[in-house]
Amino acid sequence: MNVHHIGCNLEDGVRDTEFADRAARHLGHLREQGLIAGYRITRRQLGLGPPHLPEFHLTVETEDLAQLDKAFSHVASRGEPVESFHHTVNSLVCDTFFALYRDFPDAVRVRGEEKF
């Protein structure tokens, strides 16, 4: 499983529930299309966390990099309806970061033959 991490803060005046609803519609669309396996929307609790990390954290799971590439291609098409879903989320956020992780060790990992 590959996990795409997205962190963000909200633009001034944006309601937290508006952001969560719009992000869920966008990511739900991708899941319904079979382009992602799942997602979570989380928020920093009690102000805990380092100051350089944003308040909201979204995780998007894909089965493999091929599925992630299809999801990126779908969004990059800028066609409807995905363009409207994507715009309604992006227009609400700032201070965004992205990271990509995978389950470890990989299911295909052979042990004992590593050179480093």
114 located within any domain: no
- Is residue 76 in a domain? yes
Range of the domain at 34: 2-99
Q: What is the DSSP string of 69-110?
A: HHHHHHHHT--TTHHHHHHHHHTTEEEEEEEEEE-SS-TTPP
pTM over 0.85? The answer is yes
Contact 41, 9 (CB under 8 A): no
Query: Residue 95 maps to which CATH number?
Result: 3.30.70.100
At 18-74, the pLDDT tens digits run 999 999 999 999 999 999 999 999 999 988 889 899 999 999 999 999 999 999 999
User: Cis link prior to 105 (omega < 30° from 0)?
Assistant: yes
Q: Strand pairing partners for 38?
A: 61
CA 83 to CA 74: how far, in whole Å?
9
What pLDDT score does 107 carry?
83
Residue 104 lies in a domain: no
User: Which of 96, 73, 86 has the alpha carbon at shortest distance from 22?
Assistant: 86
